Each structure stands twice: as structure tokens, then as C-alpha cells.
Chain A
Amino acid sequence: MTDATSEPPSPALAARSVTKRFRGVVANDRVDFEVAAGEVHALLGENGAGKTTLCNVLTGLYRPEEGYVEVAGRPVRMHSPHDAHEAGIFMVHQQFRLVQSLSVAENVVLGWSRRRGTWFAPRKVEHEIAALAEQYRIDVAPRAKIWQLSVGEQQRVEILKAIYRGARILIMDEPTAVLTPQEVDQLVATLRAMAAAGAAVVFISHKLPEVMAVSDRVTVLRAGRTIGTVDTATTSTGALAHMMVGRDVVFEGRAGSHRVDGEVVLQLEDVSATSDMGTPAVVDVGLDVRAGEILGIAGVAGNGQRELAEVIAGERPVTDGTVTIGGKRQHGKPWEAIDSGLGYVPEDRMGVGVAPGLSIADNLRLKSYRRNGRIMHNKKAVADAEEVIRSFDIVARGPRTLARELSGGNLQKLIVARELSSGAKVLVVSSPTRGLDVGATESVRKLLVESASRGVGVVLISEDLDEIFELADRIAVLYRGRVTGIVDRQDADVDRIGLLMAGESAA
């Protein structure tokens, strides 16, 4: 299945016919994968295709039931990530392993000090780090504390950590999920520089455009199997999508005709609010959302999107201004917003959107449980949940399955289903497709479009500009908590929105 372009030099890292099962579920079924020194190799597949499992095998976190891992042509058995580190294999996870109160340099050497003796020489390490950063075009200050850094910068620290510790093979798990477009460009440059210096880079993703942009070769996984490995130069996004999903993917954007004359279902007047740190996060925001439209809210991450969503949902107090949902003035109470007809899909699914230790049935009634008196009708809840699981096509063993057992896509479908099924007039969604695979993204977007055409006013808060352009009727841009402009989609282009995102006023 794998092609044979890399015959003479052994691949830097390879999985040979790796099988890994979890309680009877085959996560990896005779998977073959190899990455050569000097290349960026994308590992593409939908959520649940087995990408993360494979990487956990490659980094010694899991042991395969069958098959084995090869490093530089030699079969090895690794028993922990420590063994993998010894072999020069490093992984940058989606959740970073950094100590917030320590500096970049301290984090880089943390846990690695035995390589360097007992004493930590800060200046020396800082110099070394600065040199490496320069070489690999990583823009980060060695003396900055982690908590001062943006998510994108923290990711660079993780990469630096790996390089500093002698990574010859770097595995990046969904690295772009947390980045702005500019940061993605910078990451791509860094990864290319590493490949040029002879490292092997594995880039896990389910986003086709960036896979096309960054990789030399692509290996596609589907349902735990290797579908094939292709050269990026000779393939297309369409072909990759077909390999990944097993069928042609067609997403129809919004049909052009949408109502702009619906009643105003959500109104914000001069709303201000502060962040958790007490600094201004939302400043004098005024917005009207009409029934049947999708208002996109664009902006670089951290410009007040989260706070704005929480203010609308009543989860964050306003310091000034008013929020009106379905004609009812709000007083900063989440239940009041829910009762006024707000559906809210928060950015954090696990732990905010759902309670992970509760069943699907329980999570589905999280917003509506108040309506039926003091006694909970458990049987009815289970029956209702079965119906939702069927109609929203959620993959789960049953209504009693715990939410934490669901994959990201199914979890998001569960949340959207819940928010829509309670008859919402307004639906606020934050990064609704972040981290979701093509199939799940497709169905979540479809749900949003459908609900708008049924007369729900949708507020789509997303850092994914493509998504906003695809779905929104109007686009509002947030910069440092202010709305720098509201543009009709017909009049919008990426350049203009980009300028607004950078703080240029619309006027």
C-alpha cells in the first residue's frame, strides 16, 4: 500500500502492520506508516480514524498488540514516552505540557536537566534557545513567562523544547486548531525549516488545505486502516477528501436568499464587560441579530469573542449596556437567557457544554430539566435521547452512554441538537467546528444553516474565516473587544475583513 520512493535510506520512523485494540474496538488495524528524514509527512484522517492512537504507539504511550515500530530501520520496543525521547521522537500534543509560572527557557530544560548536570545556567540556556529559535524561525522570547504568551506562542515553546532536546522526529497533533492564519504561516515555516535541517516531521490534521500547503507526502487513515500514501504534489484536495471520507464530499454553502427583514431576536446595546483578569474585554458593542440570519463574528483569537458569548448567555456580568433576547431584557442570569429562547454552544464542549460523567440522556435535558416539575422522568428522557441519537445521527452505544465516551464530533452534534430542540429563537455558537473532522463539520454546518432557514437568529463566533465566509449573511469583526465594522457578506472580501481584524476602523 505504501509507495516505495524511500527505499535506500530507511525511514526515520515507521509503523509496520500495527494493530491496537481497545476492549474489542480496533483503533489501528494493521496500519503501515513511515516518515523519512527531511520530509513533512501529513497524517490525514477523520476523528476516530486512528491518528492519535497511531501516534501514541509511535511515541511509546501504547504498545501495539501486533506489528512493531521501527526507528531508523531497526525494530524497537518502547515502553514509555521516555524511551521515545531517548530515540529522538517527540510529540507536541494539543494540550501543552508547560508550567505557566516558569519562563520559556525554564520550561525548555524542565525535566531535561540531567542531560546538563545539576545546575541550571539560565543565561547559557537562553542563548542556546535564542540561537535555535533563530535557526528555525521561531519567534519567542526565552525569558518570557508562559502565562504571558498566546496559545500560538506556547506552541512554539513546545516545538523549541523538542528541538532543544534533540528531536529528530517531531509529531504535531492537530497543531493548527489553535492558531490564527498568520500563526499557521509561521508554523509552516518552522516545520519546513526543521525538515530542511534533516528532521522528520509528522503533521496530524484533518484540514485539507493546510495539508496541501505544508506536507511532502500524505498518508490517509480511515476507520483504523491505512488507505494509502501519496505525494502531495501529485494529488488534490478532492482526491484526499475522497480517500479520507470514502465518498465525495459536497458541502453546499448558504443559498443566496435569506431574510433580512425578520424581527430582531437578539439586541446588544453599548455592552461592555471585563475579562477574568478584570481588564476590558468587550467594549461598547452594539449588535442586532434578526430571525433567520447568520451573523458571523470574526476576529483573531482573544479579542473578546469568548467574553462576548458569555455576556449574551448571561454567564458573565455586563459592566454597562443591555442585552435583549427575544424582546426580554436580560439581567445576567443564565437561566433567564435560556428561558428567553437562547441556545448557546460554548467553545469548551467537555465540562461546559456537557457534564462528562453524565449520560447522553442526562446531558440532553441539561437546559430543559426545569420545565417538568420537581420529579425527573428518567424513562422518558432515555426515550427522547434515543430519538435525538437517531435523528441527529450521533454515534453512541445508547442513551446511557457517558458523554465522555463520545468523540468530539458526536459531542458537538449532541450539544447542537440539545440547543435546537428546546425551541431556541437565538443560537450563539462559538467555534462550532473546531477540532471536528470533515464529516462532522459538514453536519454541524448544515444544522446551523437549517436552523437559520427555520427562523432562528444565529450568531456564529469563529476564528475560521473560511467558515464565516461560507455561512454568514453579515460579518461583524471584533478587535480588542470593539466591533470595528459590520459588513454584508456580498460586500466582504478577505482583505477588507483582515484589515478590520487588525484594528482598522470601517470608516
Chain B
Amino acid sequence: MIPLSVRFEPRERLSRWINIWVPAAAVLLALVVAGFVLLASGNNPITTYRQIVEAAFTQPGAFTQTLVSTTPLLFTGLAAAIAFRMRVWNIGAEGQLYAGSIAAAGVGLYLQHLPAPVVVIAMMASGAIAGSLWAAIPGALRAYFNTNEILTSLFLNYIADFLMYYLIFDSTSFWRDLTSASARVFPQGKYLPASGNWPALTLSSVVVPLGLVIAVVLAGLLWGTIRGTRYGFEMRVMGDAPRAAKHAGMNIRRKIVSIMLLSGAVAGLGGASQVGDFRHVLDPRGLEQAQFGYTGIVVAALARYNPISAIVAALGIGVLTNAGLALQGPNFPIGLTGTMEGILLFCVLGSEIFARYHIRIHRTVPVAALHTEATPGSDAPGAELAAVGGREQAS
């Protein structure tokens, strides 16, 4: 047995490039590891990867479908990223997205006879406000009563979920369709008329949803806010050292509430986009199964809470989600795509340690003769010294 010891030494400086090549190498490693898993399950990895590329990009309509999967993840990813950056752990993007959907659907139905641009803007505003208000609850509790926002925001997800179900399944609410033939068979929401369907941008064969455009612009704005504004400066100081923020005269409580409002608004906009861009109805089951809010946390983590990187991360998860649906079949259980996603996440998040630390592997040699009585001069230091010189190092 070769005794080895592994040590992690923090890097004193983080270079810009390390943030690019480490995740890239991690993705590559994930592909290799997932390849073995595919082999073991009787699939040819090369074929599978080609299918993924086809299903996500090259088949007719595939890329459009990928963008459909990406859009909500970018909203929830941004919502998590900005909150986490300030060490405000908003786990509630899920519920805030539901709240946004409820509000946007309600407003879209209520104002359906107004001109389409008015309806679309009203839906966005109402979605953002509803998400904001839903997030304000854990935000205010954290700021003024120091309750744990992880728990409160998480529990509010279930409440928002039940509220959606109540509106469609357990009541005769304004959102519920009580007249159409199919709704008599199974409860469903009222569909929005054309005025509430958000316009999309068509670039040759690819359809870019309006929500995605907004989300990308939002990512840029948030990045600029963090870098270039007083608000963002306060965010950075508080995220780094809350006591220094207090010392600098920042109002921490107000800031926590405001960052929760912002985070909730972004998630709520995602909910509005679900209704306006894609579903055109309040769809409790679909939203619940999609788990956009929780996946958004993964997106934020992959992006290291950077809004611009969140675009890439959301697209990556979007590709996997979309390809997973396409690959599914008798020889390719859905669990296998889940496994591949897991491997990817593990590799990318685990690679963080390589970006932050040097990893050194040493051959260990037991401490020699420390407990015996020292006999000065009797040892030849040369032998020991040779070992010192021959120390192994790898990073």
C-alpha cells in the first residue's frame, strides 16, 4: 500500500480563466462518466449523445423546444441567484412563480377585451407584483423577527400550491372553466383568449418566447445593477460581510426585504410567462410537476450566483430536460436521463473545489523515531534529506 495524503490548500487568488476551464473540464468529465453508465445500461454513448444534440438543437423545432424549457429556469435561476448572493436564502421561487401564474392568469382573463399590448403588460406587472408579495412574507419575517427564511419560504411554496389547486379543483373560482365540455369531465382552468397570448419572436425556424427575451434582458440588468449601482454595491457588501455593512451605515433590514421583493418579482414574472407564453391557462398540475423553482436553485448554483452565467446554466439544464423527454423509450427509462443530469451536476458543483483550492497529493512517511531518545549526531541526515527532496507533488 502506498500511503498518500491529500491536502487542500486555498488558492490565494482566483483568476478569471479558472472559472471557465474548470466547469468546462467538469462537463467533459461528466460526459465520460455518464458514458460508462450508458454503456452499462446497454446504450451506445456516442449514439445517445448524438441523439441529445439532435433532440436539443438540430431536429426541426428542437431548439425552439429547448428554449421553452430554458425560459422558466432562467427566471427562477435569476431569482435564486440574486437572493443567494446576498445570503438571503429564498427557497420560495417555486411558490412565487405559482403566485405570479395565478395573478397573471386572473388579470389576463379579467382584461381580455382590452387591446393585446395592454393585457400583456398588465399580466407581466401583476405576475411580478404577486411574486413579490409572496416573497415579502418570508422577507419581512427574516428582517424583523429573524425567522429562518429557508423554512418560511419553503412552506409558502406548499401554500401557493394548495391555493392553485383550490382555485381550479375545489372551488368555482373565476379561474376555473365551468362551461366547456372537457371541463365537465375533468376540472381545468379557463383558457386565455388571443389577447392574453404573448407574442413570440420568430428567427427563421426558431421561435423565441417573449419571456426568454425579457429574462435575458433582466439578467443583463441585474448584472449591471450588481456591478454598477449603489444598490448592487450594498448587495455585495452585505453578501460578503454583514457587520461591515452595518458599520457602513447600510439599512440591513430594509435591504433584506427589498432583495426578497426583487427575487420574488423575477420568479413571479416567470409564472406570468408560463401563462402568457406557453400554457395560456392556470395549470396547477403542470406547474407542480415542472418544479421550476427548485431547479432554479440548481441553475443559480451552477452559475455561482452570477446573472450572466445563469443564462448558460439555464440553457444547459434546458437542453437536458428537453433531450430527456425525447430520449425516453422502452430501452431508455426516464431514470437514466435523471442519472445523467445528476452526474453533470455532481461534476460541475464538485469542481468548485478545484477552482478554490490547490489539491496536493503527498506520499506520507511516518514520523520516524520521534519517541526514542534522541542520540545527537548518530543519524546520518543525508538519508532523510533525500526523502525530503523526493517529495511528490501534484495539483
Contacts and interface: CB of A to CB of B under 8 A. Distances in A.
Interface of A: 9-10, 22-23, 63, 68, 71-80, 83, 86-87, 313-315, 333-338, 344, 346, 348, 351-358, 362, 365-367, 369-370, 373-376, 378, 405
6 contacts: A22-B12, A68-B381, A73-B376, A346-B247, A355-B236, A369-B233
B230 interface: yes
B248 A366 contact: yes
Contacts of A9: 376
Interface in B1-46: 5, 12-13
Given A63-B391, A355-B237, A375-B228, A76 B367 contact: yes
Interface stretch (B129-137, B192-200, B280-288, B382-390): B382-390
A376 B232 contact: yes
B369 A78 contact: no
Given A71-B370, A375-B229, A353 B377 contact: no
A368 B196 CA distance: 47
A353 B249 CA distance: 12
Contacts of A337: 249
B231 A374 contact: yes
Contact of B240 (A334, A348, A356): A356
B249 A74 contact: no
A334 B247 contact: yes
B185 interface: no
A374 B230 contact: yes
A83 B228 contact: no
B368 to A, nearest CB: 7
Given A22-B12, A405-B12, A79 B379 contact: no
B290 interface: no
A81 B247 CA distance: 37
B247 A86 contact: no
Given A73-B377, A74-B374, A405-B12, A352 B247 contact: yes
Contacts of B241: 351-352, 354-358
A365 B232 CA distance: 14
A68 B231 contact: no
- A9, A351, A355, A358 — most chain B CB neighbours (10 Å): A355
B50 interface: no
Contacts of A369: 230, 233, 248
Contacts of B371: 86
A460 to B, nearest CB: 19
Chain A at the B interface: mostly helix, strand, loop or mixed?
loop
B246 interface: yes
Interface in B336-395: 362, 364-365, 367-371, 374-377, 379, 381, 384-385, 387-388, 391
B232 A355 contact: no
A166 to B, nearest CB: 11
Nearest to A11: B376
Residue of A9, A77, A80, A375 most packed against chain B (CB within 10 A): A77
Contacts of A353: 244, 247
Contacts of A83: 367, 370
Given A73-B374, A352-B243, A357-B241, A79 B364 contact: yes
A390 B388 CA distance: 42
Contacts of A10: 374, 376-377
Contacts of A80: 5
A344 B261 CA distance: 33
Indicate the member of A73, A83, A346 with the most B CB atoms within 10 Å: A73
Contacts of A362: 233, 236-237
B236 A77 contact: no
Interface in B246-268: 246-251
A369 B233 CA distance: 9
B368 A76 contact: yes
Nearest to A370: B230
B244 A352 contact: yes
B227 interface: yes
A68 B385 contact: yes
Given A75-B385, A375-B229, A86 B367 contact: yes
B245 interface: yes
A246 to B, nearest CB: 26
A367 B229 CA distance: 15
A367 B249 contact: yes
A333 B247 CA distance: 10
Contacts of A338: 248-249
A357 B240 contact: yes
Contact of A79 (B246, B249, B362): B362
Nearest to B230: A374
Contacts of A373: 230
Q: Tell which of A71, A72, A74, A378 has the most Cβ of chain B within 10 Å.
A: A74
Given A9-B376, A79-B364, A375-B229, A68 B388 contact: yes
A188 B372 CA distance: 31
Contacts of B12: 22-23, 405
Contacts of A405: 12-13
Contacts of B228: 375-376, 378
A355 B12 CA distance: 16
B229 A355 contact: no
B237 A358 contact: yes
A78 B367 contact: yes
A352 B381 CA distance: 49
A358 B391 CA distance: 37
Contacts of A357: 240-241
Nearest to B236: A358
Nearest to A75: B384
A423 B377 CA distance: 65
B215 to A, nearest CB: 24
A23 B12 CA distance: 8
Contacts of B381: 68, 75
B244 A354 contact: yes
Contacts of B250: 335
Contacts of B246: 315, 334
Interface in B192-239: 227-233, 236-237
A344 B244 CA distance: 12
A346 B245 CA distance: 13
Contacts of A367: 248-249
B248 A334 contact: yes
A315 B237 CA distance: 17
A433 B231 CA distance: 33
A333 B5 contact: no
Contacts of B248: 334, 338, 366-367, 369
Nearest to A351: B241
A74 B240 CA distance: 46
A74 B369 contact: yes
Contacts of A375: 228-230
Contacts of B249: 314, 333-338, 367, 370
Given A72-B374, A78-B367, 19 more contacts: A68-B381, A68-B384, A71-B370, A73-B374, A73-B377, A75-B385, A77-B367, A77-B387, A79-B367, A335-B251, A338-B248, A344-B247, A352-B243, A352-B247, A355-B240, A366-B248, A369-B230, A370-B249, A375-B230
A89 B378 CA distance: 22
A335 B388 CA distance: 56
B231 A366 contact: no
Nearest to A337: B249
A394 B377 CA distance: 48
Interface string B41-79: 000000000000000000000000000000000000000
Contacts of A315: 246-247
A78 to B, nearest CB: 6
